[in-house]
Amino acid sequence: MKRMQLEPQKFLFRKGDAANGVYLVISGQVGIFLPSNSTNKPDFIVRENELFGEMGVVSDQSRMANAATVTDCDLLFVSREEFDKMVDESHIVVRGILRILSERLRSAQMPKK
């Protein structure tokens, strides 16, 4: 795990990047920008004690959005390897639930054709 302190408007990842870990917001706010967003306003705000970046890690897919700090932030980064170890040590039902929830969220946020 790695602690990160960042100023506003710093990108943590962009759509298409490899999902290399999960972030926990210790303090501050991070904006999530979906690909359809062409503004400077995030679609979602992630706040203190909330996680983000988990969907790509759980479903083993690339990032589906951009994430950037909105305010000064103190974050905890858990690498994919560390996260996988935590999941591997959990019960098989927990692992299955994580994967299903991630897939459902990802498909719900995909543009309809």
Q: Encode the chain (113 residues) as per-residue pLDDT tens digits.
A: 999 999 999 999 999 999 999 999 999 999 999 999 988 899 999 999 999 998 888 777 899 999 999 999 999 999 999 988 888 888 889 878 877 887 787 677 665 55
Residue 96 has what pLDDT? 83
> 74: which strand partners?
5, 27
Looking at residue 25, which CATH number applies to its domain? 2.60.120.10
> How many angstroms separate the first and last alpha carbons of the chain?
39
Rounded to whole angstroms, how far apart are CA atoms 74 and 13?
Answer: 16
* Residues ≥6 apart with Cβ < 8 Å to 61: 19, 55, 106
Count of the separate structural domains present in the chain: 1
Residue 109 has what pLDDT? 60
Could you tell me the residue range of the domain that residue 45 belongs to? 2-109
> What is the token pair recorded at 60?
């083993």
| pTM attached to this predicted model | 0.80
